Amino acid sequence: MKILPGPASKELGEKIAELLGVEAVPVFFKVFPDGESYVRIEGAVEGEKAVIVQTTSPPQDIRIVQLALIADAAKRKNARKVVAVVPYLAYARQDKAFLQGEAVSIEAIARMLKAAGVDSLITVNVHEKKVLEKFPFPAKSLSAIPLLAEYFRQKGFEEAFALAPDKGAINIAEEAAKVLGGECGYLEKRRDRYTGHVTVEKKEFNVKDKTVIIFDDIISTGGTIVAAAKILHELGAAKIYAACVHPLLVGEAEKRIREAEVAEIVGTDSIPSQVSKVSLAPLIAKALKELKSG
Ligand code: R5P
């Protein structure tokens, strides 16, 4: 097995290679003056399981193309198998046609990656696991929630209330509560499919004077966390924290969340950012170790 750290996840890829004790093969990349991407694998991968580590956070389209080009290059260098490790899988939220005439974007991307040479894929906390069943190759999603919860546990937040901002994320809150040892719950969230505006319905939790950690897969504009924090303040929570696997933090998201009196935002290095305090390297290395012998 050899690790190919893609331009979007160079540091994470190198950490994974170090944990596994395998070679990290450098991938040179550049952008042509007209905006086209170029990649070159600078080492041997012949007969190897080539594991490309490349997240697809913004600029998503460029990073997806880079991933496809690296897969193509690996196959041309006679890699035995190409495994794509894509910590943040862009387009996964468009996993069905919500409105008539829409594309099922994630399925189109998966087919594109298959055509480029990807044989299997590992991602982390994909928005909806079911979508992976429709991929044209084996794909699995790991969960980084225990790692995020452990970060808070080590800070002494045992028994903090773990909150999911919507019903679909209740499994996330339950996973976190297992590590923290406290209660968990969820809010009801609605998003307007045309405007993107988020409304969160109040629920009667007993969070008065308690520390609450909101766990979500993604923080994008911050609208979900801000709406949830507002309700938690109304319910008398003592302190509110926000944790997510994929800190997209678009535009002024971080500022908006801090203004909503959220004490700390914690994310992973799925998307390198200033809130990426938890590394996915041990989680991904463990999953790859299981593949190593295969
Ligand atoms: C959507 O259902 C996801 O789980 C997140 O809650 C969502 O993507 C967060 O987006 P935003 O930060 O823009 O509210």
Residues 124 and 88 in one domain: yes
Residue-level pLDDT at 189: 80
Instruction: Print the domain residue range for 11.
Output: 2-143+279-292
User: Separation of 186 CA from ligand 1 center, angstroms?
Assistant: 14
Residues 134 and 157 in one domain: no
Residues 104 and 61 in one domain: yes
Residues 81 and 134 in one domain: yes
DSSP string computed for 45-112? -TTSEEEEE----SSHHHHHHHHHHHHHHHHHTT-SEEEEEESS-TTTT--S-SSTT---HHHHHHHH
Task: Give whole-number Cα distances, 250 to 59, 159, 262, in Å.
Answer: 12, 31, 17
Residues 163 and 123 in one domain: no
Is the pLDDT confidence value at 294 over 70?
no
Q: Region 70-86: what's the mean pLDDT?
A: 98
- Give strand pairing partners of 264: 241
Cβ–ligand 1 contact at 218 (below 6 Å): yes
C-alpha to C-alpha distance for 256 and 271, rounded to whole angstroms: 19
SS3 call for 27: strand
Give the count of beta carbons closer than 10 Å to the beta carbon of residue 77. Answer: 16
Q: Is the separation of the CB atoms in 39 and 70 below 8 Å?
A: yes
For 118-171, write each residue's pLDDT tens digit: 999 999 999 889 999 999 999 999 999 999 999 999 999 988 999 999 988 899
Give the residue numbers annotated as catalytic, written as ranges: 189
CA-proximal residue: ligand 1, atom 9 (nearest): 219
SS3 call for 5: strand
- Total number of domains constituting the chain: 2
Residues 93 and 24 in one domain: yes
Residues 79 and 169 in one domain: no
For 221-269, write each residue's pLDDT tens digit: 999 999 999 999 999 999 999 999 999 999 999 999 999 999 999 999 9
Q: Region 85-110: what's the mean pLDDT?
A: 95
Residues 150 and 130 in one domain: no
Hey, CA dihedral for 98, 112, 290, 271, is it positive or negative? negative
Q: Is residue 177 part of a domain?
A: yes
Farthest CA pair distance, the chain: 60
Q: Is residue 274 part of a domain?
A: no
CA-proximal residue: ligand 1, atom 5 (nearest): 218
Residues 67 and 55 in one domain: yes
Residues 255 and 184 in one domain: yes
* Region of 185 on the Ramachandran plot (φ > 0 left; ψ -120 to 50 alpha; else beta): beta
Task: Give whole-number Cα distances, 267 to 26, 215, 251, 280, in Å.
Answer: 26, 10, 16, 10
User: Separation of 161 CA from ligand 1 center, angstroms?
Assistant: 20
User: Separation of 224 CA from ligand 1 center, angstroms?
Assistant: 6
User: Which CATH number belongs to the domain containing residue 192 in this structure?
Assistant: 3.40.50.2020
Residues 74 and 204 in one domain: no
Q: Is residue 187 part of a domain?
A: yes
Cβ–ligand 1 contact at 216 (below 6 Å): yes
Residues 152 and 264 in one domain: yes
For 2-47, write each residue's pLDDT tens digit: 999 999 999 999 999 999 999 999 999 999 999 999 999 999 999 9
CA-proximal residue: ligand 1, atom 7 (nearest): 218
Q: Is the separation of the CB atoms in 193 and 101 below 8 Å?
A: no
Q: Is residue 186 part of a domain?
A: yes
Q: Are strands 188-191 and 198-201 parallel, antiparallel or unpaired?
A: antiparallel
Cis peptide before 59 (omega within 30 of 0): yes
